[in-house]
Structure 1
Amino acid sequence: MENKTLFSEILERQSDLLERIRHAAHEAHAAVNQFYGVDLPYSYHLDGVAELVARYGGEVCTRAEDVPAVMFGAWFHDSIEDARLTYNDVRKRARSLGLDEAQAFMAAEIVYALTNEKGRTRAERAGVKYYEGIRATPYAPMVKLADRMANVRFSLRQTSDYNHRMAGVYREEWPHFLASLWPATDDPRMGLPQEMVLQLCGLLGVDAKRMFED
């Protein structure tokens, strides 16, 4: 497919299904009283990630039938890590919301790939094995990039010391983060939308041209 206009048209045609997915993801995180920032519902972050995937997904999505799975992955990307769901819970939830078996499998694989490893530190929770799993999973690199972009945008808009610190962490991590997501295959489903990468370079104050030359 790889066409942003067609991707947008599919989102419009499947708006009822996508709204069910969105509502279910919101409920899953509300059920564990999870917040984003100080007092925002976690749905704020989920919608931010899904909005970015909806905007840029057409650059990497190859088949119309993959769109529901990709959007499910965006909304549910933290559900195993934070909302006490298991891999099988996620797969069953996708089926119950209207995805077929292949779509539910793809959706659950995206969510599983984005689930942090057990670890004492940030680096341990997102180590070599974690990024290997993301790079091996269709559409997971793009959803992870959207997750990071949503977090960066939020941190830059806030005034708290914590968010200023996190903005610095994201800036420092960016070269390693991007290299860890960079595809080792020509399969477009493993790719990163170039426009997203450039936008993030701009947000983080990184010289995109020099980075790509390196």
Structure 2
Amino acid sequence: MNDLIERARQFATQAHERINQQRKYTQQPYTVHLKNVAEKVATVSDDPEMLAAAWLHDTVEDTLVTFEEVDRLFGPGVMRLVMDLTDISKPGDGNRAVRKAIDRRHTATACPRAKTIKLADLIDNCDDICRHDNRFGPVYLVEMTALLEVLREGNQELYDQAETTIKTCQEILNRSTPQPLTGSDLIDFGPTDAAIAPNRGMRLFTELFTARDILEPLVSFDEQTDLSEVAIVCQERSLPVIGVRKAGWVVGYLHPDDLQGANLAQQMRPIKSQQVLEMDCSLSDVIKVLTRFANCFVALSGSVVAVISRGDIDKPIVRMWLFGMITVLEMSIVDHIKARWPADEWTAVLSTQRLTRARLLFEERLRRNQGCQLLDCLQFSDKAQIAIEDPQLLADLDLPSKRAAKQAIKNLESLRNNLAHGQSIVKHDWPQIARLTQRVQLLMVQAGATDPSPAQPQ
């Protein structure tokens, strides 16, 4: 195996294993999907960059890896392919249909090599979804059919396979008896811990906190500035990133370690449109950008003036925001329990030990004249464990199993504990942060609590 391909395989495997990512329906290691995609691409091409990108195609979208890291380790050719294969829509752009349209326009601009990899990805995903999910399968087939229209420049053999796969999967779905499709089936970020929640508190945490609250001013230099002068300023002010100006506009950036060569113009990294947000964009959108890039740049009237890095997510205001988001999800779980098990019928599904502890606390609160219900005396994990006993809730939340639900609960508890105890959350809790913010924002869009305007093409 070519060294580039082998390094990509090892890197992708470790990146997905680090967050314990699995295939949604079979709980197989996620690398099974990556291997399938790479093998399909290998049947029509021996291009090392394409095969490396096939292994890496989901690393930026799903793991802690950024485009800069892919560029540094595998070169600009592989990075551009991965960028073409990574969705650009944000939760705040609108509902699933709006977001898929944005991503489809992005895919339409991809190079033929990237479109070939995308065809292999669609073939594997379509087969997996339609064989295991007869509720979401029809939705995915419609989306895949629309996406094929912009993939005609990809390899013809894989294009033909994709069309055949759609027909085969449609026949499979026609033979099955679909269950009623609920609105939450159109959410594609896995388990949404509050899929049927009312909008109480959501608007506060999804709209009030914005990029403006955590940005840092971007120190920038003209592209012809002497590198030694730039290095001195970076060291004196401990700047993690600097902007590079051309004709008065910031068009690129550099990290202090990049300060080599003749001048800034030769060394700068161009700022991608996907890295730039306006000041009033939500923190959920900031998190989405930082999932893909090491830096999110903030614009004022179209001009880049500030920057947000992953390290800024440890700021007190973001920690407060995240804790509030978790509280919103907890409120949603409570609402579901009350609707599903009225009159404290949920006590039948909680262990005796946990129920006894809750009753002791309930009695103590009553003794102190603190009005509450027994359900209010449960810990977050207890409430979540009760909620996932409802098979319909598992289906509504797109959870393939109780095992997956329990892992989601465990991850959320870990994030909350680290927030409460002042621990750094960026390094170990980043996947949980990304999923949490995306889910709550999606719930807002689904519930109609916000009215985001359709995003314009990039």
TM-score range, shorter chain: 0.5 to 0.7
* TM-score w.r.t. length of structure 1: 0.68
Q: Retained in 2: the 8 A contact 1:53–1:143?
A: yes
Q: Retained in 2: the 8 A contact 1:149–1:200?
A: yes
Q: What SS does the aligned partner of 1:134 have? A: helix
Count of matched residue positions in the alignment of Structure 1 and Structure 2: 163
Which residue is 2:116 aligned to? 142
Q: Which one has more relative contact order, counting CA pairs under 8 Å at least 6 apart?
A: 1
After TM superposition, list the pairs within 5 Å mapping 1:151-166 onto structure 2: 151-158=125-132, 163-166=133-136
Separation in 1, partners of 2:144, 2:66 = 30
Which residue is 1:35 aligned to? 22
Per-residue CA deviation, residues 116-142 of structure 1 (Å, 9 max, x unaligned), is 1213543333324x3343333331111
Cα shift at 1:90: 1.2
Separation in 1, partners of 2:95, 2:119 = 21
Report whether the alignment pairs 1:107 with 2:78.
Answer: yes
Structure 2 CA distance for partners of 1:172 and 1:105, relative to 1, 3 Å: same
Separation in 1, partners of 2:98, 2:86 = 13
Which residue is 1:212 aligned to? none
Unpaired stretches in structure 1, ≥5 consecutive residues: 1-11, 59-66, 95-103, 183-190, 207-214
After TM superposition, list the pairs within 5 Å mapping 1:24-103 onto structure 2: 24-38=11-25, 39-57=27-45, 67-94=47-74
Which residue is 1:179 aligned to? 149
Cα shift at 1:177: 1.1
Structure 2 CA distance for partners of 1:132 and 1:57, relative to 1, 3 Å: farther
Q: Letter of the aligned partner of 1:126 in structure 2?
A: K
Q: Letter of the aligned partner of 1:200 in structure 2?
A: A
Which residue is 1:185 aligned to? none
Unpaired stretches in structure 2, ≥5 consecutive residues: 169-458
Query: What percent of counterpart residues are identical?
Result: 31
Separation in 2, partners of 1:89, 1:30 = 17
Which residue is 2:90 aligned to? 118
Q: Letter of the aligned partner of 1:53 in structure 2?
A: V
RMSD: 2.1
Separation in 2, partners of 1:107, 1:52 = 18
Q: Which moved more, 1:73-82 or 1:168-177?
A: 168-177
Larger radius of gyration: 2
Q: What SS does the aligned partner of 1:141 have? A: helix
Runs ≥4 in structure 1, deviation > 2 angstroms? 16-20, 119-128, 130-138, 155-158, 163-167
Q: Retained in 2: the 8 A contact 1:32–1:83?
A: yes
Cα shift at 1:204: 1.6
Higher normalized strand content (fraction of residues):
2
